[in-house]
Amino acid sequence: MENKTSPETFLKIGRRVITREAAALELLADSLNDSFADAVELMLGATGRVIICGMGKSGHVARKIAATLASTGTPAHFVHPAEASHGDLGMMAQGDVALILSNSGETPELADVIAYTRRFSIPMIGVASRAESTLIKQCDVALVLPKAEEACDTGVVPTTSTTMTLALGDALAIALMEHRQFTPENFREFHPGGKLGARLSKVSDLMHSGEELPLIAMNAPMSDVLIAISQKGFGVVGVVTTEGDLAGIITDGDLRRHMKGLLDMSAAEVMTANPKTIAPDALAEQAVANMNDRKITCLFVTAAGNGGAPLGILHIHDCLRAGVA
């Protein structure tokens, strides 16, 4: 007799579940037809928001789809079907598109939502596994999930069906996102916090500018350079021309290399000319890579990243504090 609590049994169950759900996703991909394109077009044409409803497990999936849509450029909002019957129907308006999720297509709590969309001519996309269900018959665009067994042997726990619905929501979101040519920079606007926001931070978000910039004229004596390096605290100073362009930099390393007669020299005589710079709209992650490659701790920021007037300075510690690297 098989030991139902053995590690081998648990692994067998886990692999069975994942294999069943993977097979269901293959069926889903093969089942997509013109209705999927119609659903995308309907959401693209919305002048309001995509209102997503679902009850129970479908409700949890609906919340995730709403969050994914909203973060990728499609205004979306989750409305709980039970709350909708007690006033939240007012969250739906003409110009919106409703995306209604129900595996059976007969969820009673959705009745008022469906009726409301019909009464006020709000386009409705239905997602269900039964083509003959009330939801599918009433909707304007039907997305019918293919027949696939749930991951559990009892066949009653929403597993495979919710995975397919979630994947379908992702497919809709990405189709909308790519049509709108949604960029990583756009994505960051909706994700300013956390590791993802940090990775998408721009140099301009983290750089020091204005009075914080350590700058010195080319003809400045090295005594002034030493004071500037000490006061600004970056361990480096930028050397600028009379036109204000960055001509070079002076680092601690430059000071050590010119120790003999240092105070008798000018900034132009000690500086390293044509330093590596970076543009303000570059990702901070790129700046970190550049600093790591060159084993330096600071980068001056210029308009195009290839010379010109310095706009700011970025220190590796600024990136680390922001969670970049």
258 has binding-site annotation: no
Structure tokens at 259: 């120790």
**Closest alpha carbon to 169 in 314, 239, 44, 67:** 67
Question: Do strands 298-302 and 277-278 pair parallel, antiparallel, or not at all (unpaired)?
Answer: parallel
Between CA 62 and CA 66 the distance in angstroms is 6
Q: In this structure, are residues 250 and 237 in contact, taking their beta carbons and an 8 Å threshold? A: yes
Angle subtended by helix axes 7-31 and 160-179, to nearest 10: 50
Question: Do strands 141-144 and 124-128 pair parallel, antiparallel, or not at all (unpaired)?
Answer: parallel
Residue 321 backbone class (left: φ over 0; alpha: ψ -120 to 50; beta: rest): alpha
Structure tokens at 199: 């990775």
Annotated binding site for Zn(2+): 80
- Which residues are known binding-site members? 80
